[in-house]
Amino acid sequence: MGTPNILMIMTDQQRRDTLGAYGCEWIPTPNLDRLAASGALFENCTVDNPICTPSRASIFTGKPVIDHGVLGVHDNLPAHETLFTERLRSEAGYRTALFGKLHVSSRVQEQTQRHPNDGFDIYEWCLEPSVAMDSPFNGYAQWLAETAPAFRNALARNGRRELHHPPDLHMSKWAADRTIDFLHASKDDGRPFFCLMSLFDPHDPYEDYPAALAGAIDDARIPAPIPPRADQPRCVKREQEGSYLGRFSDFSPHEIASIRKGYAASIAFLDRQVGRVLDALDDAGLTEDTLVIFTSDHGDQLGDHGLFVKGVALYEPTVGVPLLLRWPGKIAAGGRSRALVQGHDIAATCLSAAGLNTDRCPSSEDLVAVARAGATKRNASICAYRNSGINGSGTFWEPPMRATMARDKRYKLTVYWSGGETERELFDLSSDPRETRNISGDPGHGPAENALLAEIARFLDTEAAQAPPRATTSLPDATQRLNNAIR
């Protein structure tokens, strides 16, 4: 087949260091590891923004956050923007399907209306298991209503407090089942397909994993978090004190270990679902003709640096995500790339594979070509936070917080702004991968800091010059706010 099928598997809030292929020794991920071994692994994939909605808008438009205008978690992707899936469908004849989370716009908007250019023929949306269950687009809730009404009612009643979802009714299992059904139905269709299997896990609240998976994680091997530093920027300290998950200092080491265990168990379970899908691809005889992409929208601090989940702090546990590609005959098996790649590169990858041009997303690079060449055109990866996340009150930070990060293969510089203050953090990732020593201002690293500062300045100049209309915002009212605190 000249034009490949494309299977994209996407998790939510999964940091890079949680796969065996990346060196993780305490979470079993044999199926994702075999995917990595049969394709290419990217060691340095950086998200465009550490919050779901802006990051996903970048992934599906192929644009940095300043280009599509979705800056915050409750922003809505402008109607004139086009997801790459729409171009696959309308210009290349792809049959397209979504099973699970999209979240390129606010959850308040997505539960009532689709984006006009989302491009999916089959649209079985589900933001997360217990949210917007009455939405006409919620495929998971509709399936539960037909097959397990008692569990659906429990989810509707208890929300995120409904713990340890049964394995056969778990959202990850449902998304895998629907993906498998789609793969088998596509076997003799004659058209190429794009299928997005988009999971909610391992996103908090961390205890929705099937109870049996607790035994997959050895408590004694759960690593302790990276301790916070006294010299962290004020923005970071504000996040420590005001996180929507709860104040870091209120959690005991045992509670943090429990959070990490639940996160790991969710990954172990979703890995099994990925294995089932990869096996179904083999059984349908589609493997040789299918480009498989695995990634996540951002990571999770899990207590590292005194932080939970994600926010203004642009440390590697938040901004570094796994990225695996497999395309037999096009990508060499077992390859590892240190190229500086980003989430918005996925758009050009899929469009190029389908034989389409990438003129509308010029910043996006074809990862298949990058895997072969070993490098990208960019000198640095950029991650931009624009008061994108919420605090413990469920509102945006006031005064607002902004951060811009630039990294090359060795150094990473982040510039934080809030309340008239500007602070910097510079890390040498080769000698200090845990980001424990801020070397900003050290003359010995001055040239590296200046080079990355110039990259940030160029990004800010572009941001100021373009000044696209801000995306509209749909703020949850008091009845729609989620209780994220677990303490």
pLDDT in 10s for each residue of the chain, 487 residues:
579 999 999 999 999 999 999 999 999 999 999 999 999 999 999 999 999 999 999 999 999 999 999 999 999 999 999 999 999 999 999 999 999 999 999 999 999 999 999 999 999 999 999 999 999 999 999 999 999 999 999 999 999 999 999 999 999 999 999 999 999 999 989 899 999 999 999 999 999 999 999 999 999 999 999 999 999 999 999 999 999 999 999 999 999 999 999 999 999 999 999 999 999 999 999 999 999 999 999 999 999 999 999 999 999 999 999 999 999 999 999 999 999 999 999 999 999 999 999 999 999 999 999 999 888 999 999 999 999 999 999 999 999 999 999 999 999 999 999 999 999 999 999 999 999 999 999 999 999 999 999 999 999 999 998 875 667 888 888 888 888 888 7
> What domains sit in the chain, N to C, each tagged with a CATH number?
5-235+252-379 (3.40.720.10)
**pTM, to two decimals:** 0.95
| Residues whose CB falls within 8 Å of the CB of residue 11, separated by 6 or more in sequence, listed in order | 199, 201, 202, 267, 270, 295, 296, 297
Give the pLDDT confidence score for residue 374 in this predicted structure.
Answer: 85
| Residues whose CB falls within 8 Å of the CB of residue 258, separated by 6 or more in sequence, listed in order | 206
| Closest of 368, 307, 311, 383 to residue 335, by C-alpha | 368
Cα–Cα distance for residue pair 167/177, rounded to 1 Å? 12
Q: Are 4 and 326 a contacting pair, CB within 8 Å?
A: no
Q: Are 166 and 155 a contacting pair, CB within 8 Å?
A: no
90, amino acid identity: S
Cα–Cα distance for residue pair 50/62, rounded to 1 Å? 16
Cα–Cα distance for residue pair 33/256, rounded to 1 Å? 26
Give the pLDDT confidence score for residue 479 in this predicted structure.
Answer: 86
* Positive/negative CA dihedral, 431, 435, 439, 445: positive
Q: What letter would DSSP give residue 426?
A: E
Mapping DSSP to helix (H, G, I), strand (E, B) and coil, where does residue 197 land?
strand
| Residues whose CB falls within 8 Å of the CB of residue 158, separated by 6 or more in sequence, listed in order | 130
Q: What letter would DSSP give residue 312?
A: S
Which two tokens mark 216?
């997959």
